[in-house]
């Protein structure tokens, strides 16, 4: 390179305002010279060169090693020496070489060329320099400190290099802090707060919130907005980082968030102003963690009070806390990241790829995990999307929500076990309006207070040799499934009654195990940590107060002895095919059971009943037909009613082989039986009560179908 090139570069940088400090006005071509290394540069500085002298270092340790830089001499500077942007002899009181740059810095320009030299000082110098907007790594790095920065508008690109933490400082003997990452970027909450007590219900999906005095708020400000939920110590129905978008009047402001849950009169809303950071982006790192306990383990990235801060291509191993953890964040992307074999997956909060606490408007895409606790975890978060993410070795649930009133989340095109709202009732155990589509997994658990769950093309598969796979457990409160399949267990409960939409299953297929259906089992497929949180369930059972509709669905038993226990108040099976699954109504209160739409029941067992009831102390409304029922053996009952109160109506029912048992004891007043258009085919036997004003059977046709 020529001296003219050096001169034009230096002058160009100065004109563009990229220098670390105001440049001397006396830069001339005669003042520019090259040196081979920083050591030579320091020696030159001891000679007190002329003020404004510009020097090019051809390398840091030797020419061409990649650590070269352009610097100028400020004879009056007493800035702290850092060996990169500020260079001088350690003993030199005054006079510094100050780096000329265009806002891009490199660890090599601080003499860091491998992981044998800790990179902490270089990192701190570059991040804390407001004139640097991009930091690059081109060699492996090792960090031994946990850095906490408060700045915006910075890109850190680690160039795909390995980042290690051998010898990293512990967090503290008694302190647990999941945000104590190597790179922790955060804003700061202010001291000023505002608390408002609601005198009327604040409706769901509102973006207008009350304040004490709107004159203290300004459009563009960010606030930490909270409201406690009653009854549970840690539950909060509102916990979000929001921005003021409109001052409505003296007592109301609009924010950039629509509330997911109604807040009732008497609740308090707390506003805390926050100074956020923005536009910090971290990418292209291969991170190897060190340490095996909450205090000694390491992880790379944390954000708090951060807006529009993105992460990409971070690939981690042996971490303890979440590889990427965010709290009080909004408008972010996490993409093409991965976690393999974290050091702990049993400690709460450990072994995650990414966790989002009180976050809004995030997009997580094209990420993966192997043998981790969770790939993605939402806590009190909303309006986020998880797309094309995949997990293996996911026994503890790849995709989870904490249950702290998450809402309006979308999962699309992912693979891995799912568990929603299952971290314990002390957090609220609630979630609302979650959509999962085009998903495959071995476990789907959403049987806490999950409202308006929508599943489209979701497939829950069984893995040979693993008993806790192929399981789907759902809360029947506005749950809707389309085109889904389940390989071993379908269990429905109803913990809430908040939804205004029906529980519907369209075009789904359920293949049921011969589990111990009557045994309430505390067994938790999510692992030992959650066993104390989840209530016992009856496997392969349907419990709900709200109506449940199965349309064009298939039920198959893995064996002929499989059964589905129905305690739901109102269930309809329309145009369904039910093969080798016995249906038994087991409720403790009045039930409505409808089997219609040319449904087909078939069974190859040599004993038992396809339709039956247990308990004789309640009324069951039977609405049967048109449907066809086929059994392989003469001693199998299509319908068996021997007691209880029954309102029985059957129309156009076709029985093939077997028998029906409608005992007189099941049709004493106030019971009744009305049947028309029965077809009996093959070897068939029927036991029915004698005709009376409450028992009528008409239009029976017997044919030889053998």
- Over the chain (706 residues), what is each successive 10-residue block's mean pLDDT? 40 39 50 89 92 94 96 94 96 94 97 97 98 98 98 98 97 81 96 92 96 96 92 86 97 97 94 98 98 95 98 98 98 98 92 97 98 96 98 86 96 97 90 98 95 98 86 97 96 95 97 63 42 60 95 92 93 97 95 98 94 94 97 95 97 97 96 97 93 95 78
Measured in degrees and rounded to the nearest 5, phi and psi for residue 46 equal -70, -20
Within a domain: residue 88? yes
In this prediction, residue 26 carries a pLDDT of 54
Q: What is the DSSP string of 187-203?
A: -EEEEEEEEEE-SS-B-
Count of domains observed in the chain: 3
Q: Any idea how long the chain is? A: 706
Residue 169, number of CB atoms within 10 A of its CB = 16
Q: CA 116, CA 317: separation in Å to the nearest integer? A: 20
Q: Is 183 left (phi over 0), alpha (psi -120 to 50) or beta?
A: beta
One domain for residues 266 and 347: no
Looking at the structure, tell me whether residues 359 and 233 fall in a common domain: no
Q: Is residue 293 situated within a structural domain?
A: yes
445 located within any domain: no
Same domain, 172 and 315: yes
Q: What is the enclosing helix (H) or strand (E) of 543?
A: none
SS3 for 524-561 is CCCCHHHCCCCCCEECCEECCCCCEEEECCEEEECCCC
- 213 and 197 fall within a common domain: yes
Q: Which residues pair with 185 in a beta bridge?
A: 149, 303
d(CA 490, CA 375): 24
Tokens of 469: 């796979």
CA dihedral sign of residues 159, 165, 168, 172: positive
Residue 68 inside a domain? The answer is yes
Whether residues 165 and 283 share a domain: the answer is yes
| Nearest Cα residue to 178 out of 55, 309, 344 | 344
Q: Are 452 and 430 in contact (CB under 8 A)?
A: no
**pTM value?**
0.92
Q: Is the peptide bond before 626 cis (omega within 30 degrees of 0)?
A: yes
Q: Please provide the DSSP assignment of 394-433 as one string.
A: -TT-SEEE-SEEEEEEEEES-BS-EEES-S-GGGT-EEEE
In a domain, 212, yes or no: yes
CA distance 33 to 607: 99
253 domain-assigned: yes
Mark which of 259, 275, 291 sits at the end of a domain. Answer: 275
Domain CATH number, residue 242: 2.60.40
Question: E strand or H helix at 389, and its extent?
Answer: none
Tell me the Cα Rg of the chain: 34
Measure CA of the first residue to CA of the last residue in the chain; give whole Å.
Answer: 99
Q: Identify the H or E element spanning 47.
A: none
**Cα–Cα nearest to 393, from 412, 416, 363, 365:** 416
For residue 397, the model assigns a pLDDT of 81
Query: Within this chain, do residues 166 and 57 fall inside the same structural domain, yes or no?
Result: no
CB contact at 8 A, 315 and 299: no
Same domain, yes or no, for 163 and 286?
yes
Reply yes or no: is the peptide bond before residue 51 cis, omega within 30 of 0.
no
Spatial separation of the C-alpha atoms in residues 518 and 528, rounded to whole Å: 23
Last residue of a domain, one of 107, 129, 158: 107
222-228/268-275 β-pairing: antiparallel
Q: Is residue 341, in this structure, part of any structural domain at all?
A: yes
- Distance in angstroms (rounded) separating the CA atoms of residues 578 and 556: 6
d(CA 48, CA 561) in angstroms, rounded, equals 94
Same domain, 282 and 378: yes
Q: What is the pLDDT of residue 212?
A: 96
* pLDDT attached to residue 11: 41
pLDDT for 172: 77
The reply to whether 192 falls in a domain is yes
Helix (H, G, I), strand (E, B) or coil at 126: helix
Domain that holds residue 238: 188-275
Q: Phi/psi at 158 (nearest 5 deg)?
A: -90, 5
Which among 107, 125, 159 is the end of a domain?
107
Q: Are residues 285 and 306 in the same domain?
A: yes
Residues 236 and 165 placed together within one structural domain of the fold: no
Rounded Cα distance between 317 and 320, Å, is 9
Residues 329 and 297 in one domain: yes
Are 294 and 151 in a shared domain?
A: yes
């Amino acid at each position: 390179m020529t001296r003219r090139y050096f001169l034009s570069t230096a002058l160009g940088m100065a004109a563009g305002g990229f220098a670390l400090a105001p440049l001397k006005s006396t830069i001339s071509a005669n003042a520019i010279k090259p040196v081979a290394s920083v050591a030579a540069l320091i020696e030159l500085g001891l000679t007190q060169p002329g003020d404004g002298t510009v020097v090019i270092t051809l390398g840091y340790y030797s020419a061409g090693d990649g650590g070269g830089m352009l610097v100028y001499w400020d004879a009056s500077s007493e800035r702290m020496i850092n060996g990169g942007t500020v260079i001088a002899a350690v003993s030199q009181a005054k006079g510094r070489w100050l780096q000329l740059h265009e806002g891009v810095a490199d660890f090599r320009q601080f003499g860091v060329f491998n992981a044998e030299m800790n990179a902490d000082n270089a990192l701190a110098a570059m991040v804390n320099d407001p004139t640097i907007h991009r930091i690059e790594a081109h060699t492996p790095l090792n960090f031994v400190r946990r850095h906490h920065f408060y700045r915006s508008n910075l890109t850190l690109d680690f160039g795909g290099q390995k980042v290690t933490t051998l010898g990293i400082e512990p967090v503290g003997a008694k302190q647990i802090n999941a945000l104590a990452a190597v790179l922790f970027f955060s804003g700061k909450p202010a001291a000023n707060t505002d608390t408002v007590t609601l005198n009327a219900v604040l409706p769901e999906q509102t973006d207008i919130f009350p304040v004490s005095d709107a004159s203290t708020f300004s459009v563009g400000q960010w606030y930490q907005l909270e409201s406690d939920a009653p009854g549970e110590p840690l539950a909060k129905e509102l916990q979000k980082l929001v921005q003021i978008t409109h001052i409505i009047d003296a007592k109301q402001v609009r924010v950039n968030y629509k509330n997911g849950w109604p807040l009732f009169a008497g609740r308090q809303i707390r506003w805390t102003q926050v100074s956020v950071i923005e536009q910090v982006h971290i990418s292209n790192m291969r991170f190897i963690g060190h340490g095996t306990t909450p205090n000694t383990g390491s992880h790379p990235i944390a954000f708090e009070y951060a807006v529009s801060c993105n992460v990409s291509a971070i690939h981690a191993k042996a971490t303890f806390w979440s590889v990427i953890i965010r709290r009080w964040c909004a408008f972010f992307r996490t993409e093409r990241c991965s976690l393999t074999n974290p050091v702990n997956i049993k400690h709460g909060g450990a072994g995650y790829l990414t966790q989002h606490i009180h976050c809004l408007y995030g997009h997580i895409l094209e990420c993966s995990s192997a043998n981790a606790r969770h790939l993605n975890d939402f806590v009190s978060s909303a309006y986020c999307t998880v797309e094309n993410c995949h997990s293996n070795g996911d026994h503890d649930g790849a995709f989870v929500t904490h249950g702290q009133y998450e809402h309006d989340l979308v999962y699309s095109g992912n693979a891995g076990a799912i568990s929603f709202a299952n971290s314990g009732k002390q957090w609220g155990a609630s979630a609302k309006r979650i959509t999962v589509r085009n998903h495959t997994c071995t476990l789907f658990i959403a049987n806490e207070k999950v409202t308006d769950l929508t599943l489209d093309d979701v497939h829950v598969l069984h893995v040979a040799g693993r008993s806790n796979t192929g399981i789907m457990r759902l809360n029947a409160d506005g749950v809707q499934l389309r085109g889904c399949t389940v390989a071993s267990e379908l269990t429905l409960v109803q913990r809430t009654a908040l939804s205004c939409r029906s529980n519907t299953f369209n075009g789904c297929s359920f293949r049921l195990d011969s589990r111990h259906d009557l045994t309430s089992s505390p067994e938790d497929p999510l692992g030992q940590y959650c066993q104390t949180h989840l209530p016992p369930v009856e496997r392969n059972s349907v419990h709900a107060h709200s109506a449940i509709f199965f349309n064009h669905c298939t039920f198959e038993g893995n064996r002929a002895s499989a059964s589905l226990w129905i305690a739901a108040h109102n269930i309809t099976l329309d145009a369904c095919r039910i093969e080798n699954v016995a249906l038994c109504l087991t409720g403790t209160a009045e039930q409505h059971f409808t089997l219609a739409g040319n449904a087909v029941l078939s069974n190859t067992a040599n004993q038992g009943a396809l339709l039956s009831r247990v308990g004789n102390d309640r009324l069951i409304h039977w609405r049967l037909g048109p449907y066809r029922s086929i059994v392989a053996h003469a001693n199998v009952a299509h319908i068996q009613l021997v007691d209880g109160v029954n309102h029985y109506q059957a129309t156009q029912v076709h029985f093939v082989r077997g028998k029906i048992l409608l005992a007189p004891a099941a049709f004493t007043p106030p019971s009744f039986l009305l049947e028309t258009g029965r077809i009996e085919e093959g070897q068939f036997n029927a036991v029915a009560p004698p005709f009376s004003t409450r028992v009528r059977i008409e239009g029976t046709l017997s044919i030889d179908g053998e």
